[in-house]
């Protein structure tokens, strides 16, 4: 039977020769992780079940990245609970503030995300890790508790949609614009319960950071996972990061897709997702005059070094608009350090931005840049639901880092060409 990459990985992890969409499986998990929001609930369940030990101390990662550095006493208590649990149960991979980054950038960077593996995270953006050819999907805290206790998870095998991208992107359009355009096209439930398999020449030539951005937002179309076949680029990326052997799967020629969608990317200008859904996309050329109070560059979607570089090319030697503030959050300490070495941090500070630590912070309205009533932000993040970044009457527009930087300079949503 012909299978997709996702089906092959799920079959291999449930000791089957083949699996079919719709089938329920009990799968063996290779890597499971939770953060400072989702871990406390998982720990509560784990203890309630009186589980004696973690199924494999090497395969669990606890990563406090959301409300850290601790935003208040209650957040501090959650982190403390997580830290104590990690010590008590011998979790090898607990990463403390200063030595951890945003989970979906940090784990690939540190070689935890491996092709062919089954990766389960108590965070919806776990689909990011599919960029390395893994089957990665987000679940809740109870699921992670179950994985911690048993090493297993129940899954329904998803059906798949194939997305094929061809042509040459216009200047200033990047991976973020492709995924926003795609979500705008199919809607926030357009791939509900399904796999989004990204392919085509544009994806083959796309950097690993770009691939991570594409897969990161698969969940915004309702998908279970996003996946890109591992190739030479993946192998090169992994070379310095892991010694672990891994398996490269390819989708068979006759594998079943419920749909194949092809996009010629030549006319996909930078995209803006307008309030209050990631699918309410428009080209930045059609956006009109929208005054902005805050700019956020960072998050698991666009906190990569390449994203900071892109923003810095526009901000170099310029000042941000006097009536707004711009917040830059590198995704990991290593990215921060590299940005420092390359002079990017100086560019941001000279321009009037504040550069903060690696944290999810403002993306989910946690801390480090909350919006007041009536304020508007443009952010390189992934969600713009009502109240997502603060007051229920604030608004979030999503964009790529170049548009965010251009908007920071102009004080309104702007095309990068306007400030180049």
Partner 1 sequence: MRLKGKIIKYGDNINTDEIIPAVYLVSVDPEKLAEHCMEAIDKDFVRKVKSSPIMVAGKNFGCGSSREHAPLALKGAGVKCVVASSFARIFFRNAINIGLLIVESKECVEKSLEEDILEIDTEKGVIKNITRGTFFSSAKYPEFIQRLIEMGGIDSWVKERI
Q: Where does this chain bind partner 1 (CB under 8 A)?
A: 22, 24, 37-38, 40-41, 44, 48-52, 66-67, 72, 74-75, 77-78, 121-124, 126, 138-143, 145-146, 149-150, 152, 154, 156, 188-189, 192-193, 219, 222, 224, 277, 364-366, 370, 383, 385-388, 392
State how beta strands 31-35 and 93-94 pair.
unpaired
The distance of closest approach from Cβ of residue 153 to partner 1 in the complex, given in angstroms and rounded to an integer, is 10
Token readout for 353 is 């931005």
Query: In whole angstroms, how close is the CB of 334 to partner 1 at the nearest point?
Result: 26
Q: Which is nearer to partner 1, 115 or 138 (CB)?
A: 138
Give least dist CB 180 to partner 1, A: 16
Nearest to 220 by CA among 240, 254, 192: 192
Q: How far is the CB of 22 from partner 1 (least distance, A)?
A: 8
The residue (of 1 and 386) whose beta carbon lies closer to partner 1 is 386
**Closer CB to partner 1, 11 or 122, in the complex:** 122
Tokens representing 100 are 């951890």
Nearer residue to partner 1 within complex by CB, 70 or 334:
70
Contact 382, 125 (CB under 8 A): yes
Quote the least distance from Cβ 37 to partner 1, whole Å.
5
Q: Residue 67 or residue 249: which is nearer to partner 1 going by CB? A: 67
Contact 114, 238 (CB under 8 A): yes
> Which residue, 167, 242, 151, is CA-closest to 206?
167
Q: Rounded distance, CA 100 to CA 218, Å? A: 24
- Using the structure block, give the residue that is written with the tokens 């290779």: 30
Question: Between the CA of residue 325 and those of 122, 289, 354, 377, 404, what are the distances in Å?
Answer: 32, 18, 8, 10, 12
Question: Please, are residues 122 and 82 in contact by the beta-carbon 8 Å criterion?
Answer: no
- In this complex, which beta carbon is closest to partner 1, that of residue 52 or of residue 240? 52
Least Å distance, CB 93 to partner 1, is 19
């Amino acid at each position: 039977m012909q299978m997709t990459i996702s089906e092959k990985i799920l079959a291999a992890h449930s000791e089957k020769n083949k699996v079919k969409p719709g089938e329920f499986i009990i799968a063996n998990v290779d890597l499971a992780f939770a953060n400072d929001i989702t871990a406390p609930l998982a720990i509560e369940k784990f203890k309630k079940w009186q589980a004696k030990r973690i199924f494999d101390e090497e395969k669990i990662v606890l990563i406090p990245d959301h409300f850290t550095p601790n935003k208040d006493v209650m957040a501090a208590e959650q982190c403390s609970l997580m830290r104590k649990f990690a010590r008590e149960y011998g979790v090898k991979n607990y990463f403390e503030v200063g030595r951890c980054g945003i989970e979906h950038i940090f784990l690939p960077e540190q070689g935890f995300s491996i092709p062919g593996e089954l990766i389960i995270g108590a965070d919806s953006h776990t689909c990011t890790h599919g960029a390395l050819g893994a089957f990665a999907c987000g679940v809740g805290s109870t699921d992670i508790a179950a994985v911690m206790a048993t090493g297993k998870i129940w899954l329904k095998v998803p059906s798949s949609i194939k997305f094929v991208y061809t042509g040459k992107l216009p200047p200033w359009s990047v991976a973020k614009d492709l995924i926003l355009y795609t979500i705008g096209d199919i809607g926030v439930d357009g791939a509900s319960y399904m796999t989004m398999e990204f392919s085509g020449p544009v994806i083959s030539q796309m950097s690993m950071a770009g691939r991570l951005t594409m897969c990161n937002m698969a969940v915004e179309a309702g998908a279970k996972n996003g996946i890109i076949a591992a190739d030479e680029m993946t192998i090169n990326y992994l070379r310095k990061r892991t010694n672990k052997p891994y398996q490269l799967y390819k989708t068979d020629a006759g594998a079943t897709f419920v749909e194949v969608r092809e996009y010629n990317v030549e006319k996909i200008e930078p995209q803006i997702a307008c309030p209050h859904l990631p699918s309410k996309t428009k080209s930045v050329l059609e956006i009109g005059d929208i005054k902005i109070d805050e700019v956020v560059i960072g998050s698991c979607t666009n906190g990569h070094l390449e994203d900071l570089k892109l923003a810095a090319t526009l901000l170099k030697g310029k000042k941000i608009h006097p009536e707004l503030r711009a917040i830059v959050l590198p995704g990991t300490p290593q990215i921060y350090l590299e940005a420092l070495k390359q002079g990017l941090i100086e560019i941001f500070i000279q321009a009037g931005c504040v550069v903060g630590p690696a944290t999810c912070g403002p993306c989910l309205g946690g801390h480090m840049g909350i919006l007041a009533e009536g304020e508007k932000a443009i952010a390189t993040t992934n969600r713009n639901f009502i109240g997502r970044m603060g007051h229920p009457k604030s608004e979030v527009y999503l964009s790529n880092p170049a548009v965010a930087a251009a908007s920071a300079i102009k004080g309104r949503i702007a095309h990068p060409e306007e400030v180049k």
